Chains A and B, each alone.
Chain A
């Protein structure tokens, strides 16, 4: 599904923010990406959601070498990735339904079915009464759930979330993590970047720990991390 081999990344002519990163994510796996602020979590996520190319090394995503892929080939790969941004990045001029429907519209979904599909998902994340609300009128938790709904509406193969619990209270944080676990049960490979240790310790899944741009894999016990089964997660 995802394979990094000796990947390095730098911004412009600066020093490397990621150094010799190597790991592999199996289909349907669930990982936390942890590390202190400035460790390179967001940079690693940018590589994963194809916002940046690596400065060196090899990235294989869905069996395709990203380092050498043509620009025109990347759009189709991006449509297989769902991203929950730390700052939500919702469209303020759109309603909740319109925001969540965007990936389906981009993917060329059937117009007649989009509304029903989106409403069903918004109900699932607990936004049934907020369908036509603008993001500016939503609470932090509601915005976060809307951002998650938008990220998963297309049933992505890879789901990435950057600090999804950073703007919500601990209880809501736990609920969101369980939401991600539910989505993972459906087969979506999931990577959650967080520095919230309580969240990480509450759910036993492998951890990709970044420190000063270098990666350590904890819980998987091997360079190629394995997805835990559900019993392990819930224990």
Chain B
């Protein structure tokens, strides 16, 4: 039989962690899902905000087609002559139809449907429109024009995305707290169930740190095992969701996709979990040992 001169005073086998790695797996699964959701929503919000921040929309809400077209052309001319406007484009009937078809269905947008005329305005980088002044100017040439610089929507989107990101961060913090508490209870249970072994080792002259090292080693292993399982399951779930959602039009999935840095950061979750498990167990044992002579 091989002999390895290492201080392994905690038995292996069935007592090797029990349910603890599985609880850690659940926690890592939840943590990964919360982090991915938070980051995905943050990315999408950033993307949408960036798209809308340098643009505005003018709608001509007039039921009469001739008047609508007349006002649209007048508004277009005014916008193209306005300082700070990079470009202004009147959307064609086909463009409008393609915008409506995802909601009304293909072929359901009839020509006599009174759809407002839309002018897409792109602004020069960093330009903020004086909404009131431009609205007043538009009202003179196109009384039915409605100017929207999207700031209200961006504000709401930003607040919502911020709240979701905060909730995700809170969820991650709660999961870290719960994982730490579970590891503390696990280490205390191991200490209690192997109290005799630990006492003998202690009486043989083992330093506290040497005893704690065995716990650090074991709980790091539980963390790596549970963390890997939880992360693998979460990655599989995220890939499945990605595959299912990739059929949704509008590029939602692409906008929610994680960057390379974020993905690399996510890969550290099992490692961080293992380190939390290791350090927490070590500290728990050191505190417990300090109470004996």
Number of A residues, CB within 8 Å of B: 35
In the assembled complex, which residues on chain A have CB atoms less than 8 Å from the CB atom of B205? 75-81, 103, 106-107
- Complexed CA–CA distance, A87 and B200 (Å): 12
Is A102 in contact with chain B by the CB < 8 A criterion?
Answer: yes
Is A115 in contact with chain B by the CB < 8 A criterion?
Answer: yes
Assess whether A106 is in contact with B204, with CB atoms less than 8 Å apart. Answer: yes
In the assembled complex, which residues on chain B have CB atoms less than 8 Å from the CB atom of A106? 7, 201, 204-206, 210
- Complexed CA–CA distance, A102 and B196 (Å): 15
Is B3 in contact with chain A by the CB < 8 A criterion?
Answer: yes
In the assembled complex, which residues on chain A have CB atoms less than 8 Å from the CB atom of B3? 95, 97-98, 101, 114-115
> Known: A93-B12, A115-B3. Is A52-B206 also a contact (CB below 8 A)?
no
Is A233 in contact with chain B by the CB < 8 A criterion?
Answer: no
B193-207 vs A: 1/0 string, CB under 8 Å?
A: 000110111111111
- Complexed CA–CA distance, A200 and B12 (Å): 42
In the assembled complex, which residues on chain B have CB atoms less than 8 Å from the CB atom of A74? 293
Is A49 in contact with chain B by the CB < 8 A criterion?
Answer: yes
- Complexed CA–CA distance, A87 and B205 (Å): 19
- Complexed CA–CA distance, A144 and B201 (Å): 18
- Complexed CA–CA distance, A91 and B241 (Å): 50
Distance from B291 Cβ to chain A, minimum over Cβ atoms (Å): 10
Is B5 in contact with chain A by the CB < 8 A criterion?
Answer: yes
Is B185 in contact with chain A by the CB < 8 A criterion?
Answer: no
In the assembled complex, which residues on chain B have CB atoms less than 8 Å from the CB atom of A93? 11-13
Which residues of B1-21 are within 8 A (CB) of A?
Answer: 1, 3, 5-7, 9, 11-13
Of all chain B residues, which has the CB nearest A150?
B204
Assess whether B206 is in contact with A83, with CB atoms less than 8 Å apart. Answer: no
List 4 extra interface pairs beyond A85-B200, A93-B13, CB under 8 A: A71-B293, A75-B205, A93-B12, A114-B3
- Residue numbers of B with Cβ under 8 A of A are 1, 3, 5-7, 9, 11-13, 196-197, 199-208, 210, 290, 293
- Residue numbers of A with Cβ under 8 A of B are 49-53, 71, 74-81, 83, 85, 89, 91-93, 95, 97-98, 101-107, 109, 111, 114-115, 132
- Give the 9 A-B residue pairs with the shortest CB-CB distance, closest first: A79-B205, A78-B205, A93-B11, A132-B1, A111-B5, A114-B5, A106-B206, A75-B205, A75-B207
